[in-house]
Amino acid sequence: MKTFQLKAEPRTDLGKKATKALRAEGKIPVVLNGGAAVELPFIGTLAPGQKLVEIGDNKALITTDLVVAQDDVRKLVYTPDIFAIELDFNGGKKMAILKDIQFHPVKDTILHMDFLEVDDKKPVVIQVPVKLEGHAEGVKAGGKLSLSMKKLKVKAIYTNVPERLVINVDNLGLGKTLQVGDIHFEGLELVNAKNAVVCAVQLTRAARGAQATAAE
């Protein structure tokens, strides 16, 4: 994945009025999840924007409330590409991926974003775009190639995640499908259902006619 650099500021006022004011200024509230697990009671010092989220067994996760500028995330959001995000805040940098976006139901503006902190040890699940390459045998026979799943869920260390999953369809015959279970990538685990159809070569009217003529 390519790296997207993004500056953020800690957010300490979490009230509705403050959130509304932020959005009026062209800013977006963000939550960075996936922080370190700590023992409770916590005796350390939380940085600006950080808070504890209890997870049971006298433990809590550190999450961070942040603010980013709407203009700064346009190239991150309105693109088919995926990125590893280098967040710059509180005098340091953390790597993250985009997990969720909440849009305004009418205006389609961004209301909220969720990021997940990542490192080179813990696998993450992320959706990766699919790109088909090659000339399917079924297409040569008159069929039509269709892509059913434009993205696949991948589990891997974020540094191993490619920008796209390139799938060769040269051997895909007429009327045949390619399922998730048929696809393998080194260092990646596909977590979609194994029988989910990724792409297929469908019979067209012309192909059916050619088959019928050949059978006579």
2-118 and 125-215, same CATH topology: no
- What is residue 210's predicted lDDT score, i.e. its pLDDT? 61
172-214, pLDDT tens digit by residue? 999 999 999 999 999 999 999 999 999 999 987 666 666 656 6
CATH architecture of the domain formed by 2-118:
Beta Barrel (2.40)
Domains in the chain: boundaries: 2-118, 125-215
Which of these CATH numbers, 2.170.120.20, 3.40.50.1820, 1.25.40.10, 3.40.50.720, describes 125-215? 2.170.120.20
Q: What does the DSSP 8-state code read for residue 182? A: G
**pTM of the entire structure?**
0.86
- Report d(CA 213, CA 207) in Å as an integer: 10
